[in-house]
Amino acid sequence: MNGIDEWLGAILHEYEWLFRIFVSALFGFIIGLNRTHKQKPAGVKTYMYVATASALITIVSIQSVFLYSGVKEHTMMDPMRLAAQIVTGVGFIGAGVILKDGSKVVGLTSAAMIFYAGGIGIAIGAGLYSIVFFSFIITNVFVWIGEWIEKRQVLKMESKDIMSLDDSN
């Protein structure tokens, strides 16, 4: 862990697990706001649940190693084994929001964001705050840039359509 992660852990002590759940729910909620605003099928509740559940399962997985690894001699436990199962489950949920209508495919961004929310939950559950904060900021910056570019392209297309209507009159 780095300085920020250790600093937060030192401040929070026994409440760190609760903080991890809160941060995951908050980030999942914020990710979902984007999709709800765009009236997409998966919204705030979906993303909040995926991120929070991923954090919860990761915390349980990590804590299980500490609780049960010493129960029997030579017991080997992998704390990230459940996290790998989260990826499978989140992929299943994401696949459910991808729809194909003829040659048009919709829901890919929603599926990717569900996968991302799961990753955020896993990382927060593992206590890797700094990497989550960085990835959250950087993805939001690039989403903002991408939406700005898309809006410019739409405006260009609309202005061309208006000009072509004026020319035909």
Tens-place pLDDT, residues 48-105: 888 888 888 888 888 877 777 766 676 677 777 878 888 888 888 888 888 888 888 8
- Neighbour tally for 111: CB within 10 Å: 18
Q: Any idea where the domains of the chain sit in the sequence?
A: 3-135
* Reported pTM: 0.69
Rounded to 5°, the CA angle 90-92-98 comes to: 105
